[in-house]
Amino acid sequence: MAEETIFSQILQGSIPCEEVYSDELCLAFRDIQPQAPTHILVIPRKTIPSLKDASEEDSALLGHLLLVTSKIANQEGLQNWRTVINTGEAAGQTVFHLHLHIIGGRDLSWPPG
What residues line the site for ligand 5GP (CB under 6 A)? 6, 15, 17, 29-33, 41, 86, 92-95
Looking at this protein, which amino acid is placed at residue 11?
L
- Sequence-separated (6 or more) residues with CB below 8 Å from residue 25: 44, 45, 46, 61, 64, 65
Whether 99 is catalytic is yes
* Residue 34 beta carbon to ligand 5GP: minimum distance, rounded to whole angstroms: 8
**Residue 65 burial class via C-beta count within 10 angstroms: exposed 0-12, middle 13-18, buried 19 and up:** buried
* Residue 112 beta carbon to ligand 5GP: minimum distance, rounded to whole angstroms: 12
Report the run of H or E that residue 74 belongs to, with start and end.
helix 59-75
> In this complex, which beta carbon is closest to ligand 5GP, that of residue 17 or of residue 78?
17
> In this complex, which beta carbon is closest to ligand 5GP, that of residue 57 or of residue 109?
109
> In this complex, which beta carbon is closest to ligand 5GP, that of residue 57 or of residue 110?
110
- Tell me which of 39, 64, 97, 99 is the catalytic residue: 99
Name beta bridge partners: 83.
102
What's phi and psi for 92, nearest 5 deg?
100, 5
User: Catalytic positions, please?
Assistant: 99
